[in-house]
Amino acid sequence: MQSLLGFFKTMRALLFIGAATLSMTVKADIHVGVILSLTGPGASLGIPEEKVINLWRNEMGGQKVKFTILNDNSDTSTAAKTAMRLITEDKVDLIIGSSITPTSLAIVEAAGAEKVPVISLAGGGAIVLPQDGPRRWAFKLSPTEVISANRVMEHMIKSGLKTIATIGVANSYGDGFLKTVETLAPTKSIKVVSSEKYNATDQSVTAQVLKVLSSNPDAVYILSSGTPGALPHIELIQRGYKGHVYQTQGVANADFLRVGGKALEGSFMTVAPVLVGDQLPDSNPIKKVAVDFLKKSDANFGIQNRSLFGATAWDALLISDAAVKEAVKVAKPGT
């Protein structure tokens, strides 16, 4: 796997990290391993990602490309074992995945030790920060917790809200957001009055919601991903909560909207602009690439199935395509 340092030299250069060691022009197959959460709590993220990856043409950077797509079942142990299989048995040049932060962290640990680049589709900042050890081989595309939480608190300030409670999923994604909220809130003169956690597989969050309601917050920030993010939201509304409810980008898909239903009306979500790319002004620098993706997605899956996670997967492919075009000028893939 040491030779992958040469092959993915351009990917490093694009992100201001690393340098090349080889010098040759080649044309060979690229093997991309893809690890997604196709079952389990992260399935509503992984399934649209898989659909989009299957739309990709059969070449990357002018080279033939082979994708091996595997399911980690939203489980960290499975994710780590799957990454090692792709590295040791399939000899992949790159791993894309996983769908959620906990499994992405497991993949980064395994792949980074073998110096295999990983492009995560998840949002947790811990996937890439700090940029040391195995994280030197890790990349991600979603905004970090600071960006999302800052937008939420800016909106709260404009709305005259001064207290916030959180209900977060008990994993590295929820923990990363909670730490960010607790750090950022005092700088915005916002008081965190309650912080509750639940498991992604829980069937009830009544106890957590009652504790949050007893603190009488102006706003509740749900720190979750996929359809599990709908559970506390529904419970809050059923219990009569009338304040602002905020969600992270981790729930930005049709499945979450389907599960949450009318309970989601009037709430807020921080999300990348691609989902409303066709509503952006022509001067917006991302409008063209966003609209190009939406046309492809809408034609294949329907406008009602727009997904941030599918868009993130497409971005990962575009970045890989650009990197390979340059990398094959100086190194040989698959060795």
- Residue linked to tokens 């990197």: 323
In a domain, 305, yes or no: no
Element (H, E) at 43: helix 43-53
Q: What number is the average pLDDT over the span 90-107?
A: 97
Reported residue count of the chain is 335
In a domain, 299, yes or no: no
- Are 244 and 202 in a shared domain? yes
Model pLDDT, residue 335: 56
Please report, as a single letter, which amino acid is at residue 73.
N
- Are 43 and 107 in a shared domain? yes
- Are 199 and 221 in a shared domain? yes
- Are 117 and 166 in a shared domain? no
pLDDT at 11 over 60: no
Model pLDDT, residue 332: 75
- Are 27 and 130 in a shared domain? yes
Q: Are 149 and 181 spatial neighbours (Cβ–Cβ below 8 Å)?
A: yes
In a domain, 186, yes or no: yes
- Are 127 and 151 in a shared domain? no
**Rounded Cα–Cα distance for residues 69 and 249 (Å):** 24
Please report, as a single letter, which amino acid is at residue 325.
K
Write the pLDDT tens digit of every residue in 188-204. Answer: 999 999 999 999 999 99
pLDDT at 66 over 90: yes
pLDDT at 16 over 70: no
Report the number of distinct structural domains present in the chain.
Answer: 2
**Rounded Cα–Cα distance for residues 77 and 73 (Å):** 10
Return the number of other C-beta atoms located less than 10 Å from residue 188's C-beta: 16
Domain of 42? 4-142+310-327
- Are 130 and 260 in a shared domain? no
**Bond before 98 cis per omega within 30 degrees:** yes
219: left (phi over 0), alpha (psi -120 to 50) or beta: beta
Q: Which of 206, 198, 215, 256 is nearest to 236 (CA)?
A: 206
